[in-house]
């Protein structure tokens, strides 16, 4: 028989092994994580580097050419860094591909993305490089002594845009381009309907004119355009629509801690408003009907809300167009900020691509990525790219450059580089930067955003399908959207991540089994120790 010490040791060993098993089982669900990135003393320029850059373009040939030129120029400055470009036309697709590649550590080096998406990438430990130390690095930081191109200093990045890239206590991205939404208006039709565009657009005005535009003759032709089709108000991004309406109404959406406040009475009130105008046919969405620009240019839409980065598709003379020439209608295009509930306190979303750097095992490779990321903020890239659409450069260095000021001043000189609608859309953002906002970023904020848009899409679809929109419908809609995007689960996880207590649900069965085994072992140890103590006492007596 084993003596007490041996048995004790054995039992302890069993416990430790069980605990070890528990941890190893937990580990099975994880992945080999990267070490945190540490800035090397020197960037080793004697080595060769191959980095990948996943970029988004707006299906725009000029943008592709600018990316290619930026890469070629950068490679001529740093001949030992080879940059491979992979193009996407959809932020969602980049997001999906990145999250698919995180478990295998095969993320790109540099990636155009949204801060909301980065918050999800951060669930992979040390996957995204925090940038604040790199910003400040004396040699290779923003404006650093060893940078061999004319990049911006930190102070030259528009502070509001830079702040949009700070969350979870770090800067996880640099802004690349900024845009907002604009309302592209067929001013000719507005005036033909007997209205004059106000100085500031309101939801009431847009819906009133839209309803007026629904008048038809006895053959079913709309009086305003003489066609069978007219959807006076089309919104491209319904997630933005809901988020901005809630902001304008000072109603809840979310908190930085991940509290989801979307499902509130103001949201219902807004959905009833949407339902009213879907019912008459005065309002529709991109997902239901198609691109607002196509309807606008065919004279089948009066108010088209889309990104300022979609400006080159808007208007009779738009340089980019998806509809055949015979369908184009002549009209004057006005470009205005999105409709407001409170014109004294206008609110509009700030959006546009940001760029993040992914961590790698080799810190030198990360340094090469960081240099390329900075290069994307040089005037050469910023000015050229911003001129492709209604984008705004993110540095004051670019915004104040003579070349850029000259570009803005030549608004309307042609229907290509100086296309009036595009430059008006750019000016709209430049004049309203202080009225822009972003929503809090947390793991799950992407799903919440999707949910916000889904509320409008579902309501619009239901109205079109002749379903009853009432309180019962709204409650069910809230439940369905919560379930579809797992918003209740995400909310709990976000709170847990921020240190707030959250109900994590029942323990998994394996954990219950292991914990039970541990408790049993300790009970046996206790009984054995007690038995030995009593035996010893009896022997003494």
Residue ranges that bind another protein, judged by CB under 8 A = 57, 59-61, 63-64, 85-87, 89, 96, 288-291, 294, 320, 322-324, 461, 464-466
Query: Considering the complex, what minimum distance in angstroms separates the CB of residue 65 from another protein?
Result: 8
Query: Considering the complex, what minimum distance in angstroms separates the CB of residue 260 from another protein?
Result: 20
User: Which one, 61 or 536, has the nearer CB to another protein?
Assistant: 61
3-state DSSP assignment of residue 355: strand
Query: Considering the complex, what minimum distance in angstroms separates the CB of residue 462 from another protein?
Result: 10
User: Which one, 175 or 281, has the nearer CB to another protein?
Assistant: 281
User: Which one, 6 or 86, has the nearer CB to another protein?
Assistant: 86
Which residues 6+ apart lie within 8 Å of 337 measured at CB? 180, 182, 183, 200, 201, 346, 348, 428, 432, 435
User: Which one, 246 or 311, has the nearer CB to another protein?
Assistant: 311
Query: Considering the complex, what minimum distance in angstroms separates the CB of residue 325 from another protein?
Result: 12
User: Which one, 320 or 408, has the nearer CB to another protein?
Assistant: 320
- Count Cβ neighbours within 10 Å for each residue of 465-496 and write b for 16 or more, e otherwise: eeeebeeebbeebbeebbeebebeebbbbbbe
Give one word for 229, left, alpha or beta, with left for phi > 0 and alpha for psi -120 to 50.
beta
CB 246 within 8 A of CB 449: no
**Of 453, 403, 113, which is closest to residue 271 (Cα–Cα)?**
453
User: What is the DSSP-derived secondary structure letter of residue 340?
Assistant: B
Query: Considering the complex, what minimum distance in angstroms separates the CB of residue 440 from another protein?
Result: 25
**Of 468, 454, 480, 464, which is closest to residue 284 (Cα–Cα)?**
464
Query: Considering the complex, what minimum distance in angstroms separates the CB of residue 305 from another protein?
Result: 18
CB 429 within 8 A of CB 178: yes
Query: Considering the complex, what minimum distance in angstroms separates the CB of residue 215 from another protein?
Result: 21
Give one word for 432, left, alpha or beta, with left for phi > 0 and alpha for psi -120 to 50.
alpha
User: Which one, 204 or 322, has the nearer CB to another protein?
Assistant: 322
Distance CA 458, CA 444 (A): 21
User: What is the DSSP-derived secondary structure letter of residue 153?
Assistant: P
Beta strands 283-285 and 233-235 are parallel
Query: Considering the complex, what minimum distance in angstroms separates the CB of residue 407 from another protein?
Result: 21
Distance CA 487, CA 474 (A): 17
User: Which one, 292 or 339, has the nearer CB to another protein?
Assistant: 292
Bridge partners for 304 per DSSP: 184, 234
User: Which one, 280 or 400, has the nearer CB to another protein?
Assistant: 280
């Amino acid at each position: 028989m084993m003596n007490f010490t041996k048995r004790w040791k054995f039992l302890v060993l069993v416990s430790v092994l069980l605990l070890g098993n528990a941890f190893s089982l937990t580990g099975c669900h994880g992945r080999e994580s990267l070490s945190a990135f540490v800035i090397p003393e020197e960037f080793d320029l004697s080595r060769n580097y191959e980095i990948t850059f996943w970029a988004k373009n707006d299906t725009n040939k000029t943008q592709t050419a600018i990316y290619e030129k930026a890469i070629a120029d950068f490679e001529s400055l740093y001949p030992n860094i080879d940059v491979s470009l992979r193009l996407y036309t959809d932020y969602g697709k980049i997001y999906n591909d990145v999250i698919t590649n995180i478990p295998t550590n095969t993320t790109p080096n540099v990636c155009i993305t949204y801060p909301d998406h980065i918050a999800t990438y951060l669930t992979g430990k040390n996957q995204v490089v925090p940038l604040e130390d790199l910003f400040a690095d004396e040699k290779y930081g923003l404006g650093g002594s060893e940078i061999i191109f004319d990049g911006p200093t930190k102070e030259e990045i528009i502070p509001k845009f830079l702040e949009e890239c700070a969350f979870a206590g770090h800067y996880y991205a640099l802004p690349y381009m900024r845009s907002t939404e604009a309302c592209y208006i067929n001013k000719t039709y507005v005036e033909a309907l007997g209205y004059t565009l106000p100085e500031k657009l309101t939801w009431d005005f847009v819906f009133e004119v839209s309803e007026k535009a629904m008048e038809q003759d006895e053959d079913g032709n709309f009086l305003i355009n003489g066609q069978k089709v007219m959807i006076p108000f089309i919104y491209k991004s319904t997630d933005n629509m809901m988020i901005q309406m809630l902001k304008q109404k000072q109603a809840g959406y979310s908190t930085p801690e991940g509290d989801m406040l979307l499902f509130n009475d103001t949201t219902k009130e807004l959905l009833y408003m949407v339902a009213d105008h879907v019912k008459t046919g005065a309002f529709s969405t991109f997902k239901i009907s198609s691109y607002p620009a196509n309807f606008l240019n065919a004279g089948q839409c009066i108010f088209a809300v889309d990104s300022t980065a979609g400006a080159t598709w808007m208007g009779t003379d738009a340089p980019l167009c998806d509809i055949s020439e015979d369908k184009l209608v002549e009209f004057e295009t006005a470009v205005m900020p999105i409709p407001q509930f409170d014109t004294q306190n206008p609110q509009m979303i700030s959006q546009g691509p940001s760029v993040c750097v992914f961590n790698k095992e080799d810190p030198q490779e990360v340094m090469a990525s960081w240099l390329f990321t900075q290069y994307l903020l040089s005037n050469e890239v910023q000015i050229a790219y911003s001129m492709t659409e209604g984008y705004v450069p993110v540095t004051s260095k670019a915004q104040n450059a003579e070349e850029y000021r000259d570009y803005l001043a030549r608004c309307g000189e042609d229907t290509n580089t100086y296309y009036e609608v595009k430059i008006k859309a750019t000016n709209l953002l430049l004049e309203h930067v202080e009225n822009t906002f972003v929503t809090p970023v947390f793991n799950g904020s992407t799903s919440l955003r999707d949910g916000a848009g889904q509320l409008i899409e579902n309501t619009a679809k239901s109205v079109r399908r002749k379903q009853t929109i009432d309180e019962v419908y709204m409650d069910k809609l809230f439940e369905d959207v919560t379930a579809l995007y797992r918003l209740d689960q995400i909310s709990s996880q976000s709170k847990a991540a921020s240190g707030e207590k959250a109900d994590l649900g029942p323990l998994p069965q394996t954990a219950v089994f292991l914990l039970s085994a541990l408790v049993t072992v300790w009970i046996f140890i206790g009984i054995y120790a007690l038995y030995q103590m009593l035996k010893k006492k009896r022997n003494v007596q």
